[in-house]
Amino acid sequence: MVNDRHRNDFWHQIPGLKFPGKRSYQVTVALVFGLIGFGVNFLDIEFLKTGDFKISILLGVFFPLLIALAWGWRYGLLCALAGGCQTMWWLWYEGGWGILYSVPVFTLWIVWHGWWADRRSGSSPWYMTSFAVEIPFRIMSELGFMMLFPWLVSLNPPPWDPLLVQDHVSPTWLYTVGIKQTVTAYLFLMVAYVIFSLGPVRRFFGLSSRRAQADTMVIYITAMLFGLVLWVLDILTDYFFSPIEGQTFWGLAVHGASPKELFFRSFYVTAALLVGVLMDRVNRSRVKLQERLDHQNRSLAAIRNVNQLIVGEKDPDRLLKEACRLLVETRSFYNAWIALTVDGRPKRPFYHAGFNGGFTPMAEFLLAGDIPACAKAVHASGNIQVKENPSEYCKGCPLSALYAGRAGLCVRLNHADRNFGWLSLSCPIEFAQISQEHDLIKEVAGDIAFALWAIENENHRKTVESQYAGVLAASVDAVMAFDLNGRITVFNPSA
């Protein structure tokens, strides 16, 4: 549903925004929503009523559901206990012992969806969506309702209502309640999905913006208007083609409609909303694909620029400093930094770009001889290391605070069994696990390592030549030196 593992990062992304306490704000909103839900539930919208039992739609339960989907099960439970799922103790007391099952199950429903909301992220699979996780809960809760509720009712009368004689319920009533609960649950989830797609709502709950936020607003407003147009057309059809004497248009629209007409009119709006949900998902998938292509194009441009740099630059300091700048320049990565090592220890200088002066803590960390966990892991495994949201999972890293809502990637600089150090990059989380992205990063790291190796060998060759230049020039004998591949590397004039 919300699919926002990094929901809490929003509070730190608005410069100058000072809250007395994020947790205090969340607790306050959860309590207020619980009290609102408590009051709204007393509206007690009756879906069906028999001689002894009634079936109601409780709109107030929607408020703790919103809290659970936005902030997780703890705040959802607080909202439910504050009143959002407690009104039924007063509304359904005439059901006798049956309320011992029919009331707590609403709180369990809130906790269930909040628990899954805590575990979802933007890249979670479809079976972790709220619509999918509703299925196992609904099956178990309805099975419990079919078996436990009739048994509890059979224990009537309860002490608080000794005159209650109803001690059984019909299978038809149970099936009707089960269908109503399933339909209502999915309707609530769908409406919550729509609400959490709206920019103002996401800002209120401190959630990061979704892709194509402006398009989402237009899609849902259009869908709602289309559903309302169908509603009005249905009313106009009855008003002009099936007129009832003395019935006004507004009377027919508000309180003069039959249950069948209300069902179909509600279906029009629901269907239009469902179409809006599908269109929104398609649109966001399109935007996501376009963003991925744009990111890969920028990454390719950065690697091309680095390769062009390698061809002409023979100074290792300028090479590494400029490589970091080029990787950030195309906006494919938020920042980039390179650390070289000698005997496994970092050596200065350290090369970086995109930190706006924030690299000093890491420089001090490296100068002390410490190595970040990601660099240790990349040297131990040889594979690229990906850390989603290091601000949450890499507490000991000096740069973790700069990676809020981002992913960190680390790859070693290795060529010809020579380890030069490592390259670290930061990119959007949604692109961090793409295999093509990893291939591009390993390619540029390999190119940089090769360039360092080539520069080192060239400098070594020049050093040897300068050391033995006088001896070789004075020798009357032919002198030649070969590398391991049989290529002549040094020779004198007599050769």
If one counts the domains in the chain, the total is 4
| Strands 418-428, 480-482: pairing kind | unpaired
Note if the bond before 200 is cis, omega within 30 degrees: no
User: Average of pLDDT values for 351-362?
Assistant: 92
User: Average of pLDDT values for 413-428?
Assistant: 91
| pLDDT of 364 over the 80 cut | yes
Beta bridge partners of 346: 341
Residue 358 in any domain: the answer is yes
pLDDT at 255: 56
What's the one-letter identity of residue 197?
S
What is the distance between the alpha carbons of residues 142 and 179, in angstroms, rounded to a whole number?
Answer: 9
Domain boundary among the residues 244, 279, 312 is at 312
Both 242 and 360 in one domain: the answer is: no
Both 18 and 142 in one domain: the answer is: yes
pLDDT at 182: 85
Both 143 and 20 in one domain: the answer is: yes
Give this prediction's pTM. Answer: 0.58
Token digits of residue 443: 């390619």
Both 413 and 430 in one domain: the answer is: yes
| Strands 488-491, 335-342: pairing kind | unpaired
31 CB neighbour count, 10 Å cutoff: 18
pLDDT in tens, 63-90: 999 999 999 999 999 999 999 999 888 8
pLDDT at 47: 52
Both 464 and 426 in one domain: the answer is: no
User: Average of pLDDT values for 358-387?
Assistant: 91
How much is the mean pLDDT over the chain? 82
pLDDT at 222: 79
pLDDT at 105: 94
What is the distance between the alpha carbons of residues 475 and 467, in angstroms, rounded to a whole number?
Answer: 14
Domain that holds residue 466: 458-491
Q: What is the distance between the terminal CA atoms of the chain, rounded to a whole angstrom? A: 77
User: Average of pLDDT values for 158-173?
Assistant: 80
Long-range contacts of 291-298 (CB under 8 A, 24+ apart): 291/211, 291/430, 292/430, 292/431, 292/434, 295/332, 295/427, 295/428, 295/431, 295/437, 296/434, 296/436, 296/437, 296/440, 298/330, 298/331, 298/332
Both 136 and 164 in one domain: the answer is: yes
pLDDT at 463: 80
Instruction: Quote the distance between the C-alpha of residue 54 and its chain's center.
Output: 40
Residue 292 in any domain: the answer is yes
Both 336 and 438 in one domain: the answer is: yes
Domain boundary among the residues 274, 297, 312 is at 312
User: Average of pLDDT values for 432-461?
Assistant: 89
Both 204 and 227 in one domain: the answer is: no
Contact 451, 485 (CB under 8 A): no
For the domain that residue 427 is a member of, what is the CATH number?
3.30.450.40
pLDDT in tens, 249-289: 656 665 566 666 766 777 787 788 788 888 888 888 888 88
Both 193 and 102 in one domain: the answer is: yes
Both 196 and 252 in one domain: the answer is: no
Both 190 and 103 in one domain: the answer is: yes
The residue with greater pLDDT, 376 or 51, is 376
